[in-house]
Structures are given as C-alpha cells and as structure tokens.
C-alpha cells in the first residue's frame, strides 16, 4: 500500500514538475515565437550572472514580479470567492493531467537494477490515475474549470468582469458539446474510454503501413476537436472571455499572482489540449512500427529494442507530438484574429455541433457495416 | 441625389468554410517564423549578415542612424586654441522663439574678435529644437549635430546646459571639474570668474 502511494506520489511529482515548468516555458515561447512571426527579436534581457540565454529568465523575473506585486481586492467584491476563483481555475487545469497516459506500462522487473526494488506489482502505469472512464473525468474537469472563470467575473463586482465571465460560460458550454460529441466518434471506433487502452488500440496497423491512429479513423472529429479545444483554452481566436486589448475580460479586477494564476491556467489548458489531441488522435506514446519487443518495419526488417528504451521512446514520442501541437496552437494564436461573438456562437451551434453529430452517425453506420469495433 | 447600392460580395462555399483562409494565414506566419529562425541562427555563425532577421533596433546599445540634417542636442564649436568660436553677438538669443538661450558677453583680448561668451546657457526644457540659432549664427559657432537624443533628466535644473557641456558634448551632469582655460563664470566655481587668457591669446 505504502509502495503504491510512493509510486503515485512520484508519478504525480514528475507530471506536475514537467507541466508547471512547461507552462512557465510557454511564456518564453509565446514571446519568442510571436517575435519571430512579426520580425522582432522578443524578450532578450533579464540576465543571471551575465547569462541571458535568449531571455529565458524572463519567466522567472515575471514570477517574482507577480508574487511581490500588491494584491488589490476591489471594494464590494466577495472576498472569499474573489480569492478562491484563481485557485479553482488552476486546480481543475492541473488535475486534468492525472488521467493522461504519457508512456506504456513499465515493467520494473525488466529494466536494469529494477528487480532490486522488490515491488509487489512490478508493472507501473505511466499515468498518475488509472481511471476506467478517464475521458469522462478529463471532460468533467475541463468543464469545472469554467467555474473559476465565472466566479472571477461574479466575485469582482465589476460589470465588465461579469460580462466577460458570462461570455466565457456561453462559449464553454457551446464548445464543450461539440468537443464531447467529436470524441464520441473516437470512443466508438476504439470501444474504450480508458485512455491507456485507447492508445494501445491505436498501435495497430492498416495493411502494415499506416498506423491506426485517431487522425486516420476520425479525421473530421479531429478538426472539430481541434477547433473546440482551442475555444476551451480561451486563447485567440477564441479569447472573447479575456479580450485583454479592448473588450475587457473576467480578470480585470485581479492583480499580482492571482492574475498570474489565470494566465497560468491558459497555458496549462493549452498543454492539456495538446496532450489530449496527441492521446486521442495521434497515438499517444505510440511510435510507428514499434511494438513492445522492437521495431517491425513493413518491409520485413526487424530491430529488437530493450524494454527501457521502448518505454523511453514512447515517452519521447508523446512529448514530441504534444510539443508540436503546442507549437501549432501558438502559431494559430498569433495568426488568426478574434471571432465576433455571434460568429463564435454560430460556429459552435450551427457549424461544429451538426457536423459532429453527423460524424457520429456516419461512424456508427460504418462500424455496423464493418461488423465489429476495431 | 442618386442612391448608390453597395453590392456586398457573395462568399463562395470555400470562403464560408473559412479553412482555406486559416491555411493561407498560417502560411504567412509560418514563412516568417522559419525564415527568421533560420536567419537568426545563420547570424550567430556569421552567415547571411546582409539579410536582416528583425527590424528591431536594440536602443541603448544600438542607435538608429540619423539623417545628417537631424537636429539633435546643441554644441558650441571651438577654435584651434579650444576657445569658443562664439563672438557673443546675441543673434541666436534674439532669434530664439522659445527664449531658451542666455548669453553674457565679455571682452575678448583679440581686437578682431571683440567679444566672447562668459556665460552661454541653453535651457533644453524650453528649447523647441527649431534650429533657428544654428541658422542665425554668422560664425558657425553653434551647431545641432551631436547626435545626442537621450535628454531626459530628473529636474528642470538638470535640463539647463551651461558652457561646459555645450563645448564638450561628452560631458554629462553632474559636472564637478572645470577644465576651461579662458575666463568665464561657471557654477563649478560658485558663479565666479575662472581661467585666464594668458597663454591663449598671447599677450
């Protein structure tokens, strides 16, 4: 029991460490990537002992600034809710990572020196919480994340803030439906809601050449998911809840690290969505042609791979795919202008929603004709 | 007056789909991203220097090249013997629309020169950088070609330039040492006269 607890705490620690650092790194990526897109240089100061490292330490400088800034609570604001809202937002963004598998189950007995640990159950899932309905859990947590936003708007006692909160709520609700129905197609194809099993099912091949990833079986669902997921992250082109530059969002009345936490939430949600897209549509930790005992290339060549290398390749594959998604999301964020509110609602209810339902119907019909779930 | 009917362009199916527009937008940003990324790396190893990767000018270290006619901070030009060319004719003080120049003239030992400035102050907080003083000067004694643009100061007093800073553009406040050889009144010596013409004008 203690053993299991230690393993889970270590796994949670690894995931939290990686994710929080990645979110901090995102602030740097955002600055540098936008600078490159716009023919600028971007933040390149904040030296530590004379080392600038392309301005990498700006994130640390920002964090220090946020923590030492005055925390202003407006008169008439609900103090408890005002303080609670940013924690809500960050908490629900962080717990989402618990259900995302970032590697295949590792058999400690097969890695060097692993048998000295004498674990009762040598197989460790590289997933913080092994939940049968992991997908449901993730969507529940993503939906709860909107509470932080609406509470922030509500507790600030500011008309602009509450309008921002309302916009956020309307946007979340209309896109969550499309998101859920799009993912329904994936669940139907692979016949499981357990994300680890879902990734394993994506390891099969069509004719030995094309990996059976979600993008191959559910291309329409992928685009709907991508659009809806971008809306979930509350970043451009769907940044109506925030609209920092002119329409003023739900966190106008926040300062210091409370504002920083909302900012962090945006980056965390971007990472969640990138990880989810990888898991659902790009085979998670699957490497093409790599099976647990080694590479099996379609032209007949085979290459045996030790267990530890296989696991590490999987983790690297997952990380690289997620990083590419984060890069693309950032690129989209710096390319597209914001949607108008009615266009946003129109796209959600009149565009994505019917298409996703049609996708589910078509998938169901095709599956019936094929006979079995894959 | 005739009514003009504005024909709104009908969107085609592809335009309504919006996806091609997203792709064309992403094409532009991706092109800029990878071009600049490549150029930044190439610059680090000293290649492709003649293609610029960013329009940024890193201001305090790097200055924007100025036009030769640009009017920057003033300076007083010097004779060969390090005395000002100014003959204290007051033309610049007279023409100045902002009245920011204060000149006190003294008698120059050389009868061909007649006068020279004991004091020459310009209040940059008042100056409008019109350049009339430069145009009015018959002796080419005042110019606005130092290229100094960072004129900010913490007090109005610090915006006032006296003859030391005007004669040597490299000097910055606070000035606590006066190296001028000819007689002049300056704040470093408490407003009293300093220096002598001995060894400058000869007799």
**Average pLDDT rounded to a whole number, residues A152-174:** 88
Average confidence score pLDDT of chain B:
89
Q: Cα distance from A321 to chain B (closest Cα, Å)?
A: 18
Q: Same domain for B18 and B108?
A: no
B166 with B101, same domain: the answer is yes
Element (H, E) at A148: helix A134-155
Q: ω before A46 within 30° of 0 (cis)?
A: no
pLDDT confidence tier of residue A284, bands split at 50, 70 and 90: confident
When comparing pLDDT for B142 and A240, which is higher? B142
- Give the mean model confidence (pLDDT) for residues B25-49: 92
| Domain presence at residue B200 | no
Looking at residue A353, its pLDDT comes to 92
Q: Please, which pLDDT band fits residue B202 given cuts at 50, 70 and 90?
A: low
Whole-number Å distance between alpha carbons of B79 and B141 = 9
B92 pLDDT band, cuts 50/70/90, is: very high
Name every residue in A having a CB less than 8 A away from some CB of B.
Answer: 33, 35-41, 331-332, 334-336
Residues A185-210: pLDDT tens digits? Answer: 999 988 888 998 899 888 888 777 78
Q: Supply angle C-alpha A233, A230, A134, rounded to 5.
A: 75
Cross-chain residue pair A37–B33, CB shorter than 8 Å: yes
Locate A327 and state its tokens.
């890069």
Tell whether the torsion through CA atoms of A228, A234, A236 and A237 is positive or negative.
positive
Is the residue at B189 inside a domain? yes
Residue B60 lies in a domain: no
In order of B75, B141, B143, B144, the CA distances from B138 in angstroms are 15, 8, 12, 15
The pLDDT of residue A277 is: 93
Domain-located, residue B59 = no
What distance in Å separates residue B16's CA from the closest CA in chain A? Answer: 11
B40 and B91 both lie in a single domain: no
**What is the CATH number for B157?**
3.30.70.3270
Closest-CA distance, A43 to chain B, in angstroms, reads: 11
Q: Give the chain B residue nearest A36 (alpha carbons).
A: B33
ipTM given for this complex: 0.85
Judged against a pLDDT cut of 70, whether residue A167 lies above it is answered with yes
In degrees, rounded to 5, the angle at the alpha carbon of residue A12 between the alpha carbons of residues A10 and A14 is 70
Mark whether B38 and B111 lie in a shared domain. no
**Residue B199 domain-assigned?**
no
Torsion angle (degrees, nearest 10) of CA A225, A227, A231, A233: 70
Q: What is the mean pLDDT of residues A137-158?
A: 89
Query: How close B67 gets to chain A, by Cα (Å)?
Result: 24
Nearest 5°: the CA angle B108, B112, B117 is: 30
What's residue B179's pLDDT? 83
**Angle at CA A299, nearest 5°, toward A297 and A304?**
35
- The yes-or-no verdict on residue A4 having pLDDT over 90 is no
Q: Say if B58 falls within a structural domain.
A: no
Q: What per-residue confidence (pLDDT) applies to B63?
A: 86
Please identify which residue in the block is written with the tokens 């000067």. B137
Question: pLDDT-derived band of residue B124, with 50, 70 and 90 as boundaries?
Answer: very high
CA distances, A3 to each of A10, A95, A118, A203, B179 (Å): 11, 22, 10, 30, 80
Number of domains in chain B: 2
Domain that holds residue B26: 13-44
Output the six-digit token pair for B87: 């003959």
Q: Read out DSSP for A15-70?
A: HHHHHHHHHHHHHHHHHHHHHHHTT--------BTTB-GGGTTHHHHHHHHHHHS-
- Answer whether residue B184 is part of any domain: yes
Q: Which of A35, A37, A40 sits opposite B29 (nearest CB)?
A: A37
> Mean pLDDT, to the nearest integer, of B32-56?
90
Chain A positions touching B22 (Cβ under 8 A) are 332, 335-336
Do B36 and B100 share a domain, yes or no? no
In a mutational test of the A interface, the residue from B13, B23, B29, B37 whose CB has the highest number of chain A CBs within 10 Å is: B29
**pLDDT, position A91:** 93
Span A42-70, average pLDDT: 88
The dihedral region occupied by A226, where left means phi > 0, alpha psi between -120 and 50, and beta the remainder, is alpha
Q: Which of A3-17, A52-66, A73-87, A106-120 has the lowest mean pLDDT?
A: A106-120
Residue B108 or A298, more confident: B108
Which residues of chain B approach chain A closer than 8 Å at the C-beta? Answer: 22, 25-26, 28-30, 32-33, 36-37, 40, 53-56, 58
Size of interface A-B (CB pairs under 8 A): 37
- Look at residue B20 and tell me if it is in a domain: yes
Q: State the best of B30, B32, B33 to mutate against chain A, taking most chain A CBs within 10 Å.
A: B33
Question: CA-CA-CA-CA torsion for A265, A323, A142, A359, nearest 10 degrees?
Answer: 150
Identify whether the C-beta of residue A365 lies closer than 8 Å to the C-beta of residue A188. no
B144 and B83 share one domain? yes
- If asked whether residues B180 and B87 sit together in one domain, one would say yes
Same domain, B84 and B141: yes
Do B86 and B29 belong together in one domain?
no
Based on the domain organization, do B36 and B80 belong to the same domain?
no
CA-CA distance, A318 to A323, in Å (whole number)?
9
Give the mean model confidence (pLDDT) for residues A26-54: 89
Q: B28 to chain A: which residues are within 8 Å by CB?
A: 335
Cα-to-chain-centroid distance, residue A365: 31
* Cα A236-A238-A241 angle, rounded to 5 deg: 105
Provide mean pLDDT across the span A69-81. 89
pLDDT in the model for residue A320 = 95
CB A195 within 8 A of CB A183: no
Q: Which of A17, A96, A88 is nearest to A270 (CA)?
A: A96
Is residue B108 domain-shared with residue B172, that is, in the same domain? yes
**How high is the pLDDT of residue A16?**
93
Residues B130 and B173 occupy one common structural domain: yes
* Model pTM score: 0.84
pLDDT at A99 over 60: yes
Task: Please determine, for residue A374, whether its predicted confidence score (pLDDT) is greater than 70.
Answer: no
pLDDT, tens digit (0-9, with 9 covering 90-100), for B179-194: 888 888 888 888 888 8
Residue with tokens 């600078």, as numbered in its chain: A35
CB contact under 8 A, B29 and A41: no
What is B83-144 written as a DSSP string? SBS-----HHHHH-TT--EEEEEEE-SSTTT-EEEEEEEEETTT-----HHHHH-TTS-EE-
Mean pLDDT of all residues belonging to chain A: 88
């Amino acid at each position: 029991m203690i053993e299991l607890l230690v393993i889970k705490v270590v796994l949670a620690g690894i995931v939290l460490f990686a994710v929080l650092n990645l979110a901090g790194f995102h602030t740097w990526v955002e600055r540098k990537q936008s600078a490159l897109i716009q023919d600028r240089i971007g933040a390149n100061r904040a030296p530590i002992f004379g080392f600038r490292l392309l301005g990498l330490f700006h994130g640390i400088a920002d964090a220090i600034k946020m923590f030492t800034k005055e925390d202003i609570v407006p008169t008439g604001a609900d103090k408890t809710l005002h303080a609670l809202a940013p924690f809500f937002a960050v908490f629900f963004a962080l717990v989402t990572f618990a259900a995302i598998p970032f590697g295949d189950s590792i058999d400690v007995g097969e890695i060097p020196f692993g048998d000295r640990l004498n674990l009762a159950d040598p197989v460790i899932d590289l997933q913080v919480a092994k939940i049968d309905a992991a997908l449901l859990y993730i969507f529940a947590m993503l939906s709860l994340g909107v509470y932080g936003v609406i509470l922030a708007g509500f507790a600030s006692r500011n008309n602009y803030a509450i309008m921002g909160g309302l916009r956020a709520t309307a946007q979340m609700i209309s896109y969550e439906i499309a998101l859920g129905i799009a993912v329904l197609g994936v669940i139907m194809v692979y016949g499981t809601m357990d994300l680890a099993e879902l990734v394993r099912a994506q390891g099969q091949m069509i004719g030995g050449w094309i990996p059976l990833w979600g993008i191959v079986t559910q291309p329409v669902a992928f685009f709907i998911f991508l659009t809806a997921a971008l809306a979930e992250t509350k970043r451009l082109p769907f940044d109506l809840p925030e609209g920092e530059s002119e329409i003023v969002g739900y966190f106008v009345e926040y300062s210091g690290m409370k504002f920083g936490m909302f900012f962090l939430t945006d980056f965390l949600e971007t990472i969640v969505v990138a990880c989810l897209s990888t898991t659902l549509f790009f085979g998670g930790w699957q490497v093409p042609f790599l099976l647990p005992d080694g590479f099996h290339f379609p032209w007949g060549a085979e290459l045996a791979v030790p267990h530890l290398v296989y696991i590490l390749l999987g983790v690297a594959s997952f990380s690289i795919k997620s990083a590419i998604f984060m890069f693309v999301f950032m690129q989209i964020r710096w390319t597209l202008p914001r949607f108008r509110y009615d266009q946003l609602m129109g796209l959600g209810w009149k565009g994505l929603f019917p298409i996703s339902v049609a996708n589910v119907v078509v998938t169901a019909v095709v599956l019936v004709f094929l006979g079995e779930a894959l | 007056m005739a009514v003009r009917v504005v024909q709104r362009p009908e969107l085609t199916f592809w335009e309504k789909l919006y996806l091609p527009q997203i792709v064309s937008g992403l094409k532009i940003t991706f092109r800029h991203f990878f071009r600049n990324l490549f150029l930044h790396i190439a610059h680090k190893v000293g290649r492709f220097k003649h293609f610029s990767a960013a329009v940024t000018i890193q201001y305090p270290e790097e200055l924007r090249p100025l036009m030769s006619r640009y009017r920057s901070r003033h300076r007083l030009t010097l004779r060969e013997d390090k005395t000002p060319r100014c003959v204290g004719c007051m033309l610049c003080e007279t023409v100045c629309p902002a009245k920011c120049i204060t000149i006190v003239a003294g008698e120059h030992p050389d009868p061909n020169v007649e006068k020279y400035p004991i004091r020459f102050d310009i209040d940059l907080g008042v100056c409008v950088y019109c350049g009339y003083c430069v145009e009015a000067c018959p002796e080419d004694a005042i110019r606005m070609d130092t290229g100094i643009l960072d004129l900010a100061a913490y007090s109005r007093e610090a915006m006032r330039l006296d003859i030391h800073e005007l004669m040597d553009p490299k000097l910055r406040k606070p000035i606590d040492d006066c190296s001028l050889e000819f007689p002049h009144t300056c704040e470093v010596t408490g407003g009293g006269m300093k220096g002598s013409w001995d060894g400058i004008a000869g007799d």
